[in-house]
Structure 1
């Protein structure tokens, strides 16, 4: 009768790929700092863009609507791009006659609520109402999106 001896257990060596945490974290921290987009800075950009696009003493004139909206949205996009943050921006601008009864403005999104942002600012004078919404969609891949 013969007995076979089971083979000795051998340790298997598995080479692990470096994880993002094992790599240079200073890059990740820098990226995360770049993603920080504050409400104050975006709302300030929206306000300045509206005032740039529509003079505060302006009287409502339907013939100027296209010019006002174009001026506001282009100024807003330029100022946002100057922030050099890892976002793509979408700017919506509604301008109408101010009758004192308000305006309905709705935008619906489906996104990453931790990284993407939306800001809305309303401006009025005696005859004009303007509502500007900026959607900021993060384009940066971070530690969270890779896991």
Structure 2
């Protein structure tokens, strides 16, 4: 995985992955900055990154639900493999994954947007 991977449509209500990429990178850099990897800081860093990212996404005032994930890993030469799957409306929903690194660590953060549906507009055929 290099840089950012995205899964979305090009409709007006689609996920603006470039905007989210910028938000995510700013959150990571604001929390971790130029710090070296520290096992004792990882829980604090990941919680702060996720909280900042969610706060900034929600402040956009768009009718989305968000799911944000964050993994921090020390650079040791070991591999890191991740995967996710979803079942959604590709015209309305989207996600992106951002890989950030410095000389001592990797940070992989995912952000997923799901369009909110009001109960009045749902029609379920059971």
Establish whether residue 93 from structure 1 lines up as the match of residue 53 from structure 2: no
Flag as ranges the 4+ runs of structure 1 deviating above 4 A. none
Deviation at 1:93, TM superposition (A): 0.3
Establish whether residue 54 from structure 1 lines up as the match of residue 32 from structure 2: yes
- Structure richer in strand, relative to its length: 2
TM-score (norm 2): 0.79
Match of 1:38?
16
Establish whether residue 70 from structure 1 lines up as the match of residue 62 from structure 2: no
TM-score (norm 1): 0.69
Deviation at 1:99, TM superposition (A): 2.1
Match of 1:120?
97
CA distance in 1, matches of 2:96, 2:81: 16
CA distance in 1, matches of 2:15, 2:85: 20
CA distance in 2, matches of 1:69, 1:122: 14
CA distance in 2, matches of 1:102, 1:129: 11
Contact 1:95 1:129 in 2 (8 A): yes
Unaligned runs of 5+ in 1: 1-31
Deviation at 1:36, TM superposition (A): 4.0
CA distance in 2, matches of 1:104, 1:40: 23
CA distance in 2, matches of 1:37, 1:59: 32
Match of 1:12?
none
User: Which one has the largest radius of gyration?
Assistant: 1
Match of 1:132?
109
CA distance in 1, matches of 2:96, 2:47: 19
Match of 1:107?
84
What RMSD in Å do the two structures reach over aligned CA positions?
Answer: 2.1
Count of aligned pairs: 111
